[in-house]
Structure 1
Amino acid sequence: MSSFNSASQEFLVWLSKSGAEVSENLKLQDLREIQAGRGVVAVKDIAEDELLFRIPRSSILSVENSILSKEIPKATFEHLGPWLSLILVMLYEYQNGDASNWAPYFRVLPSEFNTLMFWSREELEELQASAVRSKIGKESTDETFKNELLPVIEECADIFFCGAADAKQRAAAMGQPHNLQLMHKMGTLIMAYAFDVEPAESIKNVDEEGYASEEEDEDLPKGMVPLADMLNADADRNNARLFYEENFLSMKALKPIKAGEEIFNDYGPLPRSDLLRRYGYITDNYAPYDVAELPLDTISRVFQDHNGILDEQKLEYLDEHGVLDSGYDITASEPFALYKSLSPQLIVLAEVLILSDEEFNRLKARGKLPKPDKVTLEGAKLLHEMVKARIAEYATSVEEDTREPVTIPLNDKYVSKERRIAMAKLVRIGEKNILKSVERALAARVQELGATNGTSKRSRQDTEDGASGKKQKR
């Protein structure tokens, strides 16, 4: 038996001893040949609502379940917040090796990652102008680790390193690059695998599709749920869901699953850029959720190039009404519809920026905003220039990117430059396709509105000339 499969078997034995129930109708399978690590696969037909497995809350790797929570003041964890607290606990359990209750679990967790946090500068350049690059935040995260985690580890060195003679020296060494990298790995595991540990009755505010925002998720307690986190996800292939009970977390089938089919969790409608940032992979099934962002910096530059300096009063007014943002999403839509793809806030922003001082003062006096479902000729022109400028910020065109088919290699190592470049290329192609669709639609809208305005002007002029008895020139 390979070390990979041996680790899987040891993990399942540990899980059973911890009180977990796992259905005989599924198995943990090696999916490395399709670059999917470990996955859960049905070995027999599974019925809708059938219990797949049940994990005791005591088996969750969380702050509450770690011995460290009894040794370090509660106020320290409250200060760190859910994210950093779990990183601290995972560092503690990991460095304890076989002495940790979760040692068999750590041995089946990934040690290599394709999330953007671990890409080289050269690899990140392949994403070109994608806004996802600004969301990585490696440098700021390093500073957070140094300013928040390191002082706690140094202050509690004897506790953290279990009374080792060199505890203080080891604590001081946690600021070295390889240990900061270890903190990033723990943070990445949490981002990719952790669940929100909540009571059976959800306390989250969710949208109409049942998803909480990333910001709201940040405030909830985090926990690593063994086995549940080994389910892969692939957009609409979701066929299982985790349910919260008083003493257990239960994974159940959402629909019938045939023998041989993989069991999939759900990450929600993520664009491929965020899927790559958070989970380190992409699939075509997430393409419908792709997003291209139009940054405020690009908007400001284009406006100033064509219209002059931005009016601070207008920006303040937009900010007061929750319209001003650092960037605006332009989304995919199928079939394509301009008003579905353009952010309503972006339309409002453009329409306010083009107002004359007199028009703006009238709008402001009424405390109103332009309607987001109606673009004027001047607004369409401005939006068209903005989108064209955004397209130009990418180093290559869609045509250049698609001269040859782009496929993600499966025969390379999971962590390979070729694999990362292919994923980056697909992400940027998706964003450029959205921008090109919107650019063409806005160009057509400008032409349409221009023709309508021209006809209206000619009609008015004909009426005026006819009423005054003027003879038309031929």
Structure 2
Amino acid sequence: MSSGAKRPKVDDDAPLQNFLRWCDSVGLVLSTKVRLSKEGTVADYGMLAQDDIEEGTVLFTIPRSALLHQGTTHVSALLEGEKVSLESSSGWVPLLLALLYEYTTAHSRWKPYLSLWTDFKMLDHPMFWSKKERDKLLRGTGIPEAVDKDLANIQREYRDVVLPFVAKHPDIWNSQTHTLELYTEMVAFVMAYSFQEPQEGDDDDDDEDDETEEKAPNPPMMVPMADMLNHVSKHNANLEFTADTLKMVCVRPIKKGEEVFNTYGQMANWQLLHMYGFTQLHTDNADDTADIPVANLHKAATREPDGDQQLLEEMWEMLREKGAFVFGKNSCLTETELHSVLKVLCMSREEFLELKDNDDGWEDDDDEEISRGFSNDGLTGLNSKWKRLLQEAARLTVSGYPDVDRDRAVMEDQASLKALSSRQRNALQVRCGQKSILDKVMELTKT
């Protein structure tokens, strides 16, 4: 997250004071060792340590009755009674209808909480950028395609599920107030601030779990106070769930004056910008990633001097649905899939025909060996053809970004960086983070 202009002091922040009074009234207990502020935080509201804090300290406790979701809203009975008609691919419609109601109802129990956000577009998700701006600043990152898909899904969900339901209950919702625009803003709010309770057994490493039927994820919910904490990959606090309460617990010592950070999970910068509207410095984000599309790997194979173009086209029919291969800062994170595709692209016609005729595929290599082979240490030891294909695929991917040399020059010039808008800076962090990972892949696969 990047710092904005100078913020007003907390004492003059009426919405925040109203929210803190509301917290007291609903039984949310905030430790005296922390305070909320807009000053001294990386973005908007955040939490600062007022004293040295030891590991294990509970920073605040939230009763489940203060959480906002379809089960706690004033219209919960109605949403539950008609839940079958509210089913959708996202699974978010009941929560979004609850938020539409509570946000626009003057007597809402959650008004002091929801009043902290007067304009959800200030979250500045790329879905609120113009298409021209997304395509210009984020070309090659995968974000424009993800946003286009999001917007199409939101529009379809609103048209096919929400509007018919709203029309049945005009005394509670109406299409003039609860518009597609507000619905889209609520989607951004849920993307940026909601939490999902972990499934039971999520921390269980028993292999038997892999054989059980996959459970549907728990629906998202809004967690007042917890959503005030900003994110970094190396966080110092974590949200814990118990039967009656949720607790934010310090997981490493925090010095007085330091910011308290939660984590939203292992998030690359493109995911942070897409879902939350901010980025970290790409050099600080240990979870940053870059994708190499399978199409670029196939294209690299077609450029091999001895390539059988007809055979490669037949291979493409098998491989085109593979998507992309994800590289982190230290290794390929989809190494098994990459190994399989490289193996196919380097097959003779006889080997490929045998593969197509074998319904069970082939006996693959040891997973540990594959993992080692596609780590940064292992890439240099791949056979020369695999390295050539990877290097050319990475080069093709980098060529899909805006001006690479200009980005590098801007990153090294503080004056140029300061002159950028927040959108330009966030896009730059995404592009440079991805390109630095791809540059590393190219360096390690030189032949």
Instruction: Spell out the pairing of 1:71-470 with structure 2 (5 A cutoff).
Output: 71-72=78-79, 73-76=81-84, 79-80=87-88, 82-96=91-105, 98-109=106-117, 111=119, 112-124=122-134, 125-136=136-147, 137=149, 138-158=151-171, 160-161=172-173, 170-171=174-175, 173=176, 179-197=179-197, 202-204=200-202, 219-236=217-234, 238-284=235-281, 286-304=284-302, 306=304, 307=307, 308-309=309-310, 314=315, 325-333=322-330, 340=332, 343-362=335-354, 365=358, 367-368=361-362, 371=365, 372=370, 373=373, 375-397=382-404, 399-404=405-410, 405=412, 418-444=421-447
- The residue matched to 1:293 in structure 2 has which SS? strand
* Shift in Å, 1:346: 1.9
- The residue matched to 2:138 in structure 1 has which SS? coil
Tell me if the contact between 1:408 and 1:419 (Cα under 8 Å) persists in the aligned partners: no
Distance 1:174 1:207 in 2: 48
Distance 1:52 1:9 in 2: 18
* Shift in Å, 1:156: 1.9
Tell me if the contact between 1:46 and 1:259 (Cα under 8 Å) persists in the aligned partners: yes
Of 243-252 and 301-310, the range deviating more from structure 2: 301-310
Partner AA of 1:107 in structure 2: S
List alignment gaps of at least 5 residues for structure 1: 162-169, 209-215, 334-338, 445-474
Tell me if the contact between 2:10 and 2:37 (Cα under 8 Å) persists in the aligned partners: no
Distance change in 2, residues 1:141/1:75 (3 Å)? closer
Distance change in 2, residues 1:295/1:218 (3 Å)? farther
* Shift in Å, 1:105: 0.3
- The residue matched to 2:18 in structure 1 has which SS? helix
Tell me if the contact between 1:196 and 1:223 (Cα under 8 Å) persists in the aligned partners: yes
Greater C-alpha Rg? 1
Distance change in 2, residues 1:156/1:301 (3 Å)? farther
User: How far does the alpha carbon of each residue in 1:268-297 deviate from its partner, in whole angstroms, 9 at most, with x for none?
Assistant: 221111111111111226533222212233
Distance 2:416 2:25 in 1: 39
Distance 1:207 1:192 in 2: 29
TM-score by structure 1 length?
A: 0.76
User: How far does the alpha carbon of each residue in 1:128-150 deviate from its partner, in whole angstroms, 9 at most, with x for none?
Assistant: 21122221232332222222212
- Following superposition, which runs of at least 4 residues in structure 1 exceed 6 angstroms of deviation? 1-4, 205-208, 316-319, 408-412
Structure with greater proportional helix content: 1
User: How far does the alpha carbon of each residue in 1:133-185 deviate from its partner, in whole angstroms, 9 at most, with x for none?
Assistant: 22123233222222221211112222x24xxxxxxxx33x368xxx2221121
Tell me if the contact between 2:11 and 2:17 (Cα under 8 Å) persists in the aligned partners: no
Instruction: Spell out the pairing of 1:15-34 with structure 2 (5 A cutoff).
Output: 15-31=23-39
Partner AA of 1:117 in structure 2: M
Distance change in 2, residues 1:393/1:423 (3 Å)? same
Tell me if the contact between 1:352 and 1:370 (Cα under 8 Å) persists in the aligned partners: no
Tell me if the contact between 1:384 and 1:439 (Cα under 8 Å) persists in the aligned partners: yes
* Shift in Å, 1:194: 0.7
Distance 2:445 2:73 in 1: 56
- The residue matched to 1:368 in structure 2 has which SS? coil
User: How far does the alpha carbon of each residue in 1:13-40 deviate from its partner, in whole angstroms, 9 at most, with x for none?
Assistant: 1111111211122111123x76511111
Distance 1:146 1:183 in 2: 11
Partner AA of 1:368 in structure 2: W
* Shift in Å, 1:375: 3.7
List alignment gaps of at least 5 residues for structure 2: 1-8, 207-213, 374-380
Distance change in 2, residues 1:110/1:330 (3 Å)? farther
TM-score by structure 2 length?
A: 0.81
C-alpha RMSD of matched pairs (Å)? 3.2
